[in-house]
Amino acid sequence: MGPQNIDVLEERFGIRFKNRELIKIALTHSSAGLGISNERLEFLGDSVLQLVVSRHLYRRAPSLDEGELTKLRARFVNKNTLAQVALRAHLDDLLTLGDSLKKPGEAPQLSILADAYEALIGAIYLDRGMKMAQRFVRFTLLREVSNIKFERDFKSELQEKVIKTFRCYPNYRLLKADGPQHAKRFRVEVKVNGRGFGIGEGRSRKEAEKEAAKKALLSWKSLKGRQQGR
């Protein structure tokens, strides 16, 4: 990777690098046979990326618990997603690869692209610090996260727990639907093995079911004990 390519990279992301050798290493694959590779920087960049995304989700999604945050983070920090981000950033044009991995008209393998993206994060962190690395991740990856509605899926969570524990599905029963057509109120009960354990109300049946599932989850330990004690 020559100075011209580093100039392109600086222009593309608005970053001025102090140690250009770090950037050269970040975008050099071991197959190039140059005695350097981005593997160590990829290791570091992975940790920085995990921290930046975790911090972002922690702040943006206060209603989600640890398990839900972990699942959400995995949607963004995985080889496929990171490779797509690398492609959108045109990092494939800047990579130094061995001849065996160069295929005219084709992008490098997904794992190579994802590793290069993480290595670049590691290089930016070492060269310019955490604030600039965070800015880079926000610009290239976290713009997608900002479009997501961080709402806890109570029905899916309850169903997962019920299936795993009781080998059956929760059942939702409409108890009441009253009020004028433009302002109806729905009342729904969720049952497990025939026993009711959560009643919810809402302006739609879907909203009422969600509220019922939420209440069932809040009482999950009691529900589990009652069912197992039958």
Q: Which residue do the tokens 């604030």 mark?
A: 131
- CA 50 to each of CA 47, 118, 131: distance values in angstroms, whole numbers, following the listed order: 5, 10, 15
CA distance 217 to 162: 10
Q: Which residue do the tokens 């409409």 mark?
A: 174
- CA 74 to each of CA 24, 50, 69: distance values in angstroms, whole numbers, following the listed order: 28, 10, 9
Judged by DSSP in three states, 177 sits in strand
Q: At what angle do helices 66-76 and 39-60 cross, to 10 degrees?
A: 130
Q: Which of 46, 157, 189, 211 is catalytic?
A: 46
DSSP H or E segment with residue 195: strand 195-202
Dihedral (CA of 192, 193, 194, 196) sign: negative
* Six token digits for residue 63: 């209603």
- CA 99 to each of CA 39, 80, 120, 205: distance values in angstroms, whole numbers, following the listed order: 19, 23, 22, 60
46 is catalytic: yes
One-character DSSP codes across 124-140: HHHHH-HHHHHHHHIII
Q: Which of 42, 118, 157, 211 is catalytic?
A: 118
Report the alpha-carbon angle 75-209-223, nearest 5. Answer: 90
The one-letter amino acid at 14: G
Active site residues: 46, 118
